[in-house]
Amino acid sequence: MRVTNNMISDQVLSNLNRSLARFMNLEENMSSGRRINKPSDDPIGTQKDLRYRNVLSEIGQYKKNISSASNLLASYDNILGNMSDILSSARELAVSLSNDTFDANARDSASNEAQSLFEQIIELANSQVDSRYIFSGYRTGVKAFRAAAAGVIFQGDKGNIAVEIEAGSKVGINLIGSDILLGQLAPLGQNADFKAGIDGNTLLADLNLGAGVDLSAGTFQVTDNNTGLNVTIDITGAVTVDDALTLINNQLAAAGITNLTVDFGQEGNNLRWNAVDTGLITGATLLSNLNDGRGVDLTDGKITIHNADDSINVDVDLTAANDIGDVINAINTTLAAAGINNVTAAINAAGNGIDITDTNGVPLGLIIDEASATGSTAADLRILGEIDPTLPGGDLNPRMDFTVSEAAAGLTTAADLGLLGDFSLTKVGDGLTPIITETTPLTLLKNGLGLELGQVKISQGNRLVFLDLGNTAYSTVGDLMDAFNNSGLDINATINSSQTGLQIVSTSTTASMKIEEVDDGRTAHNLGIFGSTDMIGSLMILVDALKNDDREVIGQIIGNLDKGLQNVLNHRGAVGSKVIRMETTDSRLSDLQYNFTKMLSDVEDADLTKLVTDLAMQENSYQAALIAASKIIQPSLLNFLK
């Protein structure tokens, strides 16, 4: 094929253009500093470039979110720190003023200080950041708290503002004011104790704080230690206290223990044993019970039985005697051993002493004396004197002696009834501590004396209610509960967890709540429900208590201040943990940002050192190509004519 001049020219120009294009591409890379300036430069690299830039954009947004959230959390931390300082000051004030070492002027000053602390708390709770109320939830344009006629109202909502700090991870960054200052610290009446008494209708199952009475066997033993009578009492069929009393008394009488009964104790919450002193003895009567419990002197422990000329002289040793039977046996055995017949000792017909009788046709003229000048054994046994033919023993005046014990090991029936133990004439039983139920009569409260009830004042936000709990229509604990629950306020009255009294909780999360006395009444105190369930209400109670010099209330409010302070510290701790999480995440994002920036640079940035070398080489190559082309393509006359 013939190669024409045009073909040569076209080929040379084409090569020059390619060389120029390579030179211009290198020059563009040099001026931009990038290896990829358009997708065609590196399609795969371009895809990586776009992906890396998208990740870096997200990281940048996350870091902005973290920065904004960290600023808000720092504000919360500062505010909560100030709140904790204020509550600590309020607590110190309450502790200092809970005694009587301060005069009225000091207490007025303290009341003003407490009022100032209360106002500072409200001011802090209404703090703003960037013109937004930060404790109001979503309602950042509205103050979180405002004073109302009967307390304080929360105007915000429960909106949780969350920010995304990394892919798929959101963190709530706002605090709700009502959670901090209106949260439930403790129910009013949580530890209230109405000290309920018992009556015949009280259920055995309600005794001992609901643990009831052990009726698995339902038996216990009663022993008359003077007569030796013993009976096993069975109350398995009893349901009420009256049932138990009837069964016990009937079974005692049936067993011959007719001088012992059980009834209600004067303390109002217990049972008691009552014995009638019969003065009777038996062989089982302990010597220690004689003479009204003074017993018999057995230090020497001997008596002498002799006649006038001492031709008969016998010492009876009673030192080992424990009961009347031992004494009688010792006398009769000793006389028989000495050959003295028909002289015997026995309990007298009246059953209250020991008679010594000589039934010989001709009495022996025996006399009973002390064996020693210092002894008093015969005198204590009331048998000092002449047997002619009978020595009538004196009244031994035994002390009543009863023992109540469980029927078997492991049983607790008597103990559960408060009746266990030894006693003489009367035994006051242990308190039976019945639980409070809705049907508990008000007359049984305070161990049967009844509580003094009148009006109470309940304040909740902008609502105020007076309840007259002394209304004669109220006869049971359930009636009092209904009075509170039907008051129209957001409160709930129930029996407390220990089942000893009422407790009141506020069901509102937007208003402070207080229960106070009316005038000089003591109803709320008597019921154990005076005070507030929240921090705001507690501070208001403290202000009034300091003003009225109510040291009892001041002392009580310290517990709420402690709980309120702990609540603030808990929220501050939660803020601190979020700050740490933000810092940790921000650090991790910074590392990711660096790594992805480096990866992006590796993909799109040019190697400047290599680029300078390549550009110089390409420039030289292009210059050489131009020179070669000028020699290959010589201009002709036609070129000049054109």
pLDDT digits (tens, 9 = 90+) for 608-640: 566 567 556 766 666 666 676 666 666 655 555
Predicted confidence at residue 465, as pLDDT, reads 96
Distance, CA of 551 to CA of 143 (rounded, Å):
35
Distance, CA of 90 to CA of 565 (rounded, Å):
10
Residues 6 or more apart whose Cβ sits within 8 Å of residue 120: 82, 86
Predicted confidence at residue 360, as pLDDT, reads 92
Predicted confidence at residue 156, as pLDDT, reads 94
Strands 151-154 and 162-166: unpaired
Which residues does residue 513 pair with via DSSP β-bridges, in sequence order?
460
pLDDT digits (tens, 9 = 90+) for 458-476: 999 999 999 999 999 999 9
pLDDT digits (tens, 9 = 90+) for 557-571: 899 999 999 999 999
Banded model confidence at residue 24, pLDDT cuts 50, 70, 90: low
**At residue 203, what are phi and psi to the nearest 5 degrees?**
-75, 140
pLDDT digits (tens, 9 = 90+) for 408-453: 999 999 999 999 999 998 999 999 999 999 999 999 999 999 999 9
Angle between helices 43-97 and 551-604 (to 10 degrees): 170
pLDDT digits (tens, 9 = 90+) for 573-585: 999 999 999 999 8
Is residue 31 pLDDT above 60, yes or no? no
144 contacts 153 by C-beta, under 8 angstroms: no
Q: Where are the beta strands (DSSP E) in 185-250?
A: 219-224, 229-234
Distance, CA of 330 to CA of 345 (rounded, Å):
9
Is residue 597 pLDDT above 80, yes or no? no
Banded model confidence at residue 26, pLDDT cuts 50, 70, 90: low
Q: What is the mean pLDDT of residues 527-541?
A: 94
Going from N- to C-terminal start, the domains of the chain cover 1-33+611-642, 52-184+556-589, 204-277+400-428, 287-391, 442-531
Predicted confidence at residue 44, as pLDDT, reads 72
Q: Which helix (H) or strand (E) holds 621?
A: helix 608-632
Distance, CA of 178 to CA of 122 (rounded, Å):
11
* H-only helix segments in 439-550: 477-485, 523-527, 535-547
pLDDT digits (tens, 9 = 90+) for 276-289: 998 999 999 999 99
Is residue 134 pLDDT above 70, yes or no? yes
Is residue 39 pLDDT above 90, yes or no? no
pLDDT digits (tens, 9 = 90+) for 75-127: 999 999 999 999 999 999 888 887 766 777 888 888 899 999 999 999 999 99
Q: What is the mean pLDDT of residues 473-497?
A: 96
Distance, CA of 183 to CA of 588 (rounded, Å):
36
**At residue 601, what are phi and psi to the nearest 5 degrees?**
-65, -40
Percent of the chain exceeding pLDDT 90 equals: 69
Phi-psi region of 504 (alpha: psi -120 to 50; beta: other; left: phi over 0): beta
Is residue 345 pLDDT above 90, yes or no? yes
Percent of the chain exceeding pLDDT 70 equals: 86
pTM equals 0.77
* H-only helix segments in 98-189: 104-125, 177-181
Q: What is the secondary structure of 72-84 as a DSSP string?
A: HHHHHHHHHHHHH
Residue whose C-alpha is closest to residue 392's, from 362, 368, 356 = 356
pLDDT digits (tens, 9 = 90+) for 211-258: 999 999 999 999 999 888 999 999 999 999 999 999 999 999 999 999
Is residue 61 pLDDT above 60, yes or no? yes
396 contacts 390 by C-beta, under 8 angstroms: no
Give 52-184+556-589's CATH code, choosing from 1.20.1330.10, 1.10.510.10, 3.40.630.40, 3.40.440.10: 1.20.1330.10
Residues in the chain: 642
DSSP letter (8 states) at residue 606:
-
Banded model confidence at residue 190, pLDDT cuts 50, 70, 90: very high
35 vs 621, more confident: 621
Predicted confidence at residue 554, as pLDDT, reads 86
Predicted confidence at residue 445, as pLDDT, reads 95
Q: Give me the long-range contacts of 466-472 (CB less than 8 A, separation at least 24).
A: 466/518, 469/523, 469/527, 470/523
Residue whose C-alpha is closest to residue 145's, from 509, 464, 506 = 509
Is residue 29 pLDDT above 60, yes or no? no
Predicted confidence at residue 210, as pLDDT, reads 95
Q: What is the mean pLDDT of residues 358-382?
A: 92
495 vs 21, more confident: 495
Q: How many beta carbons lie within 10 A of that of residue 629, not counting itself? A: 17
